[in-house]
Amino acid sequence: MIEKEKISIDSVIENLISIHPLLTKSFSRSIRSKTNLNPGSLYVLAVLTNHGMLSMSEIGCKLSMPKSHVTGLVDKLIEENMVERLYDPKDRRIVNVHITEKGVVDFNTIKQEISQELRLKLEKLDANTLQILSKSSKQVRDILMTIVVEQHNVTGSACFKTGEID
């Protein structure tokens, strides 16, 4: 690898590593003010909103979280009556998690409030900056999605056997 490519790759690595903390600093306070749920719990609710019911392993797979971590998040959501555990009638070893009606309503409310908070922050940007952010964030998302799909195709992971990632 020539030195120029190394510098470019190192620059991408530094940028990617710095994105998460910057997003957290920019938006986590507003998220925390809208709910007592942690981000992991919100991710679980988002996945269940999209899929209705999944096994603990499937949730872990979709969120790239160990099953033990998912279990703790699900336990917290059960305490809040936002999800429920359902045992598979064919195999009682399989525990499915289903989002409750309260979970759907609460998640949609939280999502709407967070979106409104983000909208207020983004509306402060000038049109050119907002256009650049829109285009570049979509490009970064698309590139990362490609990397994740390729990684799972190479490893043969059953997590994404349907080709969907969320």
- What are 75-123's pLDDT values in tens digits? 999 999 999 999 888 888 888 999 999 999 999 998 898 888 889 889 9
Distance CA 80, CA 69 (A): 17
Q: What's the pTM value of the predicted model, to 2 decimals?
A: 0.75
Residue pLDDT, tens place only, 15-55: 889 987 887 777 666 666 667 888 889 999 999 999 989 99
